[in-house]
Structure 1
């Protein structure tokens, strides 16, 4: 049976292995209040309402793609202020 929880430490380990220069992302995740969650396609750390619109908290800058042995491709959405807006688990997306 597949575990239903995913822990932020797993993302931190992937960054250390695959994007070791991105200490900024590790620091962002370590200070996050959200340390674990039930598996789902997308986890929001910032409101996605009105993306890239004036006054919106969500001002997208870049995506970081990580590969996990059992979870597959994981995409981190990075905002212009350096925060992680959300984490997308591509294997969880159903057509």
Structure 2
């Protein structure tokens, strides 16, 4: 997901977790999360921490979290968030 403006982290996390193709309505079974945050030089450590907190609020039972953050000069004023969740259930997954 990508966000800009005052609530850019909230926008980016919301977009990252709302993937209509997967139709994941219940994330409680998630047991692992990979979080990648990219922002411009204006991205703060607080924004990075809030990104992690917002995602962890959605997947409270997660046992393993790996995350990283990167600065990209091309993204001044914007933040991009990518989250990979393991253990989720979706009606589109084979065998479900």
TM-score, normalising length: structure 1: 0.28
Q: Which has the higher contact order (CA 8 A, sep 6+)?
A: 2
Q: Which has the higher helix share?
A: 2
More strand by share: 1
